[in-house]
Amino acid sequence: MSQDADLPPDDRRCTATNNRGERCRKYAIKGGNVCEVHGGSAPQVKKKAGERMREAAAPAIHDLDTTRQEIRDILADLLDGLDAADLLESEDVDDEDLLHLAMSLSGHHEDLTADILDRAGYPKAERREIASDEANPLTLLIDSLRDDEPA
């Protein structure tokens, strides 16, 4: 196996070179062009990298916020319809059914999240899945909509 296989991708690799003209083999800091050894730990470099990350992620964050509001509106309409048909208290419709429906409505949510992480410069290796013991955002959304219903 060659040593080149261990290198970060070019777009994430430090742009500094050594005295032989070879490019550094380390990851650049998130949002930056150089690794910590080659100036990435300097306050001004960190500041600029943070600005780049925020600028790059802003459009995707806006899209995600819009999508979340659309999903919230769809779920609110759905819950209103279920409530009008007296199905919310029914044994026929449970939270798992509502969660499955919500997940099918938000199919591209994960793509938008991945886009935000890509634009912010997070390598795929640094991402993690939501642990099973953490609260599921869609479950929290359904619960909050139910809590907003007048008694």
92: Cα within 13 Å, side-chain hemisphere: 6
> 83-97 pLDDT, tens per residue?
676 665 666 666 676
Label residues 10-47 b or e (16+ Cβ within 10 Å = b): eeebbebeeeeeeebebbbbbbbbbbbebbbeeeebbe
State the Cα–Cα distance between residues 143 and 139, nearest whole angstrom: 6
Mean pLDDT rounded to a whole number for the chain: 72
Q: What does pTM read for this prediction?
A: 0.44
Long-range residue pairs from 75-78, CB within 8 A, at least 24 positions apart, any chain: 75/102, 75/105, 75/141, 75/142, 75/145, 76/145
Asked if 108 and 67 touch (Cβ cutoff 8 Å), the reply is yes
How large is the average pLDDT for residues 46-69?
A: 83
> 95-131 pLDDT, tens per residue?
676 666 666 655 555 666 666 666 665 556 455 544 3
At residue 65, the pLDDT reads 76
State the Cα–Cα distance between residues 69 and 131, nearest whole angstrom: 24
**Domain extent listing, the chain:** 1-41, 52-148
Asked if 34 and 45 touch (Cβ cutoff 8 Å), the reply is yes
Tell me the C-alpha to C-alpha distance, in Å, between residue 62 and each of 25, 113, 122.
34, 11, 18
At residue 4, the pLDDT reads 63
